[in-house]
């Protein structure tokens, strides 16, 4: 399947996790996503869910319907053969973000923690093109790779009980977007007016793994205008 080193581990009484030793990268994410699709296609009668992550792939099965030894052997066989590559080329998606006022409640903290000015934080944050590595912990949450190392900031010691939908946060050496209002422990440095997750769309998430995200800084006035537009488009 791959020259990468991995371990096949039991995950509770209804799953297995393939854990890769390689560092997080676009190449590893592609490998995990290819393997995820391949398992969904070839082991559909054994599995109930397939969950790709940064450095792992978790496969769930129904113990009442299939013995774990059968699943384990099937996975071992899959891991010993070449996995077809689908050649997916990610889309480039521009997401407007307001880094000002009420939309960026933790911007000053991040700036102080990193030894930067708020304007330097903003400039460093929207400069790169980010790669969507995975979706989770809530539907449509975007975990992005490519953030400047200078912006790395430990997560909050006490998570916020309510983070507004569209918030852009920094947690450790990662940045991501909250698609729904939810609790969260990342520092919020901006917010997008776009609806990141809409169940009525043909593809509910604004992006999928291996897409590229470009942030565009906007004013509070632009935020209000684009927010109204986004609501009308998703009615």
Per-residue pLDDT tens over the stretch 130-180: 999 999 888 889 999 999 999 999 999 999 999 999 999 999 999 999 999
- DSSP-based three-state secondary structure for 15: strand
| pLDDT tens per residue, range 43-100 | 999 999 999 998 999 999 999 999 999 999 999 999 888 877 777 788 999 999 999 9
Distances, alpha carbon 195 to alpha carbons 6, 76, 85, 231, in Å = 37, 41, 31, 7
Per-residue model confidence (pLDDT) at position 83: 75
Distance between CA 45 and CA 221 in Å, rounded?
52
Per-residue model confidence (pLDDT) at position 82: 80
Can you list the domains of the chain with their CATH numbers?
6-79 (3.30.1360.40), 92-233 (2.40.100.10)
Per-residue model confidence (pLDDT) at position 108: 98
Per-residue model confidence (pLDDT) at position 138: 86
Q: How would DSSP label each residue in 143-212?
A: EEE---GGG-BPPPSS-EEEE-TTEEEEEBTEEEE-SS-EEE-SEEEEE--S-SB-TTSSS-BS--TT-E
User: How many CA atoms are closer than 13 Å to the CA of 160, on its beta-carbon side?
Assistant: 17
Per-residue model confidence (pLDDT) at position 171: 95
| pLDDT tens per residue, range 169-227 | 999 999 999 999 999 999 999 999 999 998 888 889 999 999 999 999 999 999 999 99
Angle of CA points 178, 182, 185, to nearest 5°: 75
Q: What are phi and psi of 53, to 5 degrees?
A: -140, -170
Q: Does residue 2 have a pLDDT over 90?
A: no
Mean pLDDT for 11-34 is 92
Distance between CA 36 and CA 41 in Å, rounded?
9
Mean pLDDT, the chain, rounded, equals 92
> Which residues lie closer than 8 Å to 11 by C-beta, 6 or more apart?
17, 58, 60
Q: Does residue 234 have a pLDDT over 80?
A: no
| pLDDT tens per residue, range 113-132 | 999 999 999 999 999 999 99
Does the pTM of the predicted model rise above 0.95? no
Per-residue model confidence (pLDDT) at position 115: 98
């Amino acid at each position: 399947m791959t020259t990468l080193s991995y371990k096949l581990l039991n995950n509770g009484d209804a799953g297995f996790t393939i854990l890769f030793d390689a560092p997080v990268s676009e190449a590893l994410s592609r490998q995990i996503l290819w393997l995820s699709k391949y398992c969904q296609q070839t082991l559909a009668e054994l599995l109930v869910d397939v969950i790709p992550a940064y450095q792992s792939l978790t496969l769930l099965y129904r113990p009442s319907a299939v013995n774990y030894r059968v699943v384990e052997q099937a996975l071992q066989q899959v891991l010993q053969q070449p996995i077809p590559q689908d050649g997916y080329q990610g889309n480039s998606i521009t997401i407007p973000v307001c880094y000002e006022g009420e939309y960026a409640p933790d911007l000053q903290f991040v700036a102080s923690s990193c030894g930067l000015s708020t304007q330097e934080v903003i400039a460093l944050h929207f400069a790169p093109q980010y790669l969507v590595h995975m979706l989770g912990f809530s539907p449509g949450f975007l975990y992005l790779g490519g953030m400047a190392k200078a912006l790395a900031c430990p997560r909050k010691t006490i998570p916020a009980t309510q983070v507004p939908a569209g918030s852009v946060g920094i947690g450790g050496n990662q940045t991501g977007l909250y698609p729904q209002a939810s609790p969260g422990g990342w520092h919020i440095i901006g917010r997008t007016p776009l609806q990141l997750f809409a169940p009525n769309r043909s593809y509910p998430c604004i992006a999928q793994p291996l897409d590229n995200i470009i942030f565009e800084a906007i004013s509070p006035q632009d935020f209000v205008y684009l927010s109204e537009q986004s609501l009308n488009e998703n009615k």
